[in-house]
Amino acid sequence: MNTSNLVGSVQSALRTPGLSLWLLVTVPFLCLAYSVIYNLYFHPLAKIPAPWYCRITRLPWDYWQLTGYLHKHTKRLHFQYGEVVRLAPNELSFASAQAWHDIFGYNKGKVQWPRHPARVPQGNNGNLKSILNTPPEEHARFRRLLNHAFSEKGLQEQEPLINKYINLFIKKVGEISKRGQPVDFTSWLQMLSFDIISDLGWNEPFNCVEKEQEHSWIQTIAATAFESQLKLVFREWGIVKLAPYFIPKHMLLARIKNFKYAKARVEDRLNSGSVRGDFWDRIIIKSGDNNEAGEGLTKAEMMVTAVTLVGTGSNTVSTLLTGLSYFLGNNPHCLKKLCEEIRATFKHDNEINIPAAAHLEYLNACLNESMRLYPPVLNLLWRVPPRGGGEVCGRWIPEMTSVNISLPAMWEDPKNFARPNDFCPERFLANKPAEFANDNMACFKPFGIGTMNCLGQNLANAQARLILAKLFLNYDMELDRTNTPADWLNQKAWAVFVKNHVYVRFTEAQKQEA
């Protein structure tokens, strides 16, 4: 039979209704069967432990991500299967100290693992660059411009501005204490954090604390976090353009309004041209003529940077302090010890500054323990191996495999920490109790490691210490259990927690006689 006769016979067969229907049903089934068998038995990651449903499809991962419980399921699977788990056909999660260095570390001669190209934050224009979505070489440009603002010298320049809002906040707490009513402390911490970071970020505060009212920006945090993760999932299925249809219209309009507000504030800051000791001093100097020299930022990059810094910088600090308030309220003996340390060190507010507060050992231990149990950022930005693949914890990982570290699985594992679910700041003291002597501190890196670690860690710590030191020098705090949910820690998360609110009562502290 010649070729033309063969083609004709095939075409004739395909016109047969029964055969066409059979092919329509059978071919997709065979493709699905092939995919399942390959992912289960022949995939390069086939030997890595995982439940069968995670090994054959990414749908469970997508569902957990979209419903806000990926962190809980990942921790559960780590506790069941060990330090490495296959969450989807091309998705691995690690929970070990060595994984920090293998995935995120940077050493001379070691190729740095890039961020997952489909999982970095992207706006409507995917070409806009920010400190969160650039490759290492571009990331370094952003870091060079911002490093001074987050250095010790930079923080000293910013301290008067930071204290301006903290002092107003302490005054408001005094007014609240006189009312004798429980207060939504989560809301107040968000307002304070946004006031500070918005002034540093674009030369104009939200004035939330002064007005005792949340800015609309704060009200879109959860929607913004969900939208970013929704786009992440949809992008990997090639349907990212459908994402806006799954976000309530009023939330989309609120976000557009916020971005326009941010753009106007950045323009105002650029036009002022003054040196304020904020984030923009060095950027303005290096970014003349819309960054024609290539050393600074373009105006578009400035706007994205402003939005990124204000959004991430404010929410993480308020999350840290909200979590610590909850843990201290549930552990009055820890709160008492913290207040005693602060009041033994300082007698007046004007004695409290960034360097002095940094030496409060028990306060630092409380912050670390709160981050261990309630990380302000849950999901680090995913990485992929460099070209040719790479090794993590002795396992060879092929290209384009998504890898990450599960902080809850690592930090709540009894193999790493004694009494892992208890709030025990003492484990972070230099002279720690014997029961915590074997805690695996090598795995505790709340701000990440490497050249793309958290840029704002110094600012976050400085703000948190100043707020706590001034607050507990002047006031006692009690958790209001009537309004604070009993299962407060049961929270959804899309990279960051969607915080349940903590309610507290304040009373004026009984100052000790000098």
DSSP letters of 305-365?
HHHHHHHHHHHHHHHHHHHHHHHHHH-HHHHHHHHHHHHHH-SSGGG--HHHHTT-HHHHH
Cα gap 282→204, rounded to integer Å: 18
CA atoms within 13 A on the CB side of 214: 14
Cα gap 254→252, rounded to integer Å: 5
Architecture of the domain defined by 90-508: Orthogonal Bundle (1.10)
Helix (H, G, I), strand (E, B) or coil at 395: strand
DSSP 8-state code for residue 100: I
C-alpha closest to that of 44 among 90, 13, 6 = 90
Cα gap 21→416, rounded to integer Å: 57
DSSP 8-state code for residue 194: H
Label residues 100-110 b or e (16+ Cβ within 10 Å = b).
Answer: bbbbbbeeeee
Low-confidence ranges of the chain (pLDDT < 50): 10, 13-14, 514
**Dihedrals φ, ψ of 208, to 5°?**
-65, -45
Structure tokens at 2: 């010649």
Contacts of 171 (CB under 8 A, 6+ apart): none
Contacts of 25 (CB under 8 A, 6+ apart): none
Q: Is 124 exposed, middle or buried (0-12, 13-18, 19+ CB in 10 A)?
A: exposed
What pLDDT does 443 receive? 97
% of residues, the chain, pLDDT over 90: 57
What pLDDT does 10 receive? 47
Residue whose tokens read 């030496």: 359
Structure tokens at 243: 């994402």
Sign, CA torsion 25/27/33/36: negative
What pLDDT does 277 receive? 67
What pLDDT does 9 receive? 57
454 is in an annotated binding site: yes
Asked if residue 402 lies in contact with residue 90, where contact means CB atoms within 8 angstroms, the answer is yes
For residue 294, give the amino acid letter.
Answer: G
Asked if residue 467 lies in contact with residue 166, where contact means CB atoms within 8 angstroms, the answer is yes
DSSP 8-state code for residue 387: T
C-alpha closest to that of 187 among 231, 224, 219 = 219
Query: What is the per-residue pLDDT across 254-295, written as a single tens digit (0 to 9) for each?
Result: 778 777 877 787 788 777 766 766 777 777 777 766 555 667
What pLDDT does 514 receive? 44
Asked if residue 402 lies in contact with residue 461, where contact means CB atoms within 8 angstroms, the answer is no
Asked if residue 171 lies in contact with residue 188, where contact means CB atoms within 8 angstroms, the answer is no
* Residue 363 to residues 218, 468, 472, Cα–Cα distance (Å): 27, 8, 11
Asked if residue 404 lies in contact with residue 84, where contact means CB atoms within 8 angstroms, the answer is no
For residue 54, give the amino acid letter.
Answer: C
DSSP 8-state code for residue 402: E
Work out the angle between the directed axes of helices 299-330 and 185-202 (0-180°, nearest 10). Answer: 150
Asked if residue 317 lies in contact with residue 464, where contact means CB atoms within 8 angstroms, the answer is yes
What pLDDT does 7 receive? 53
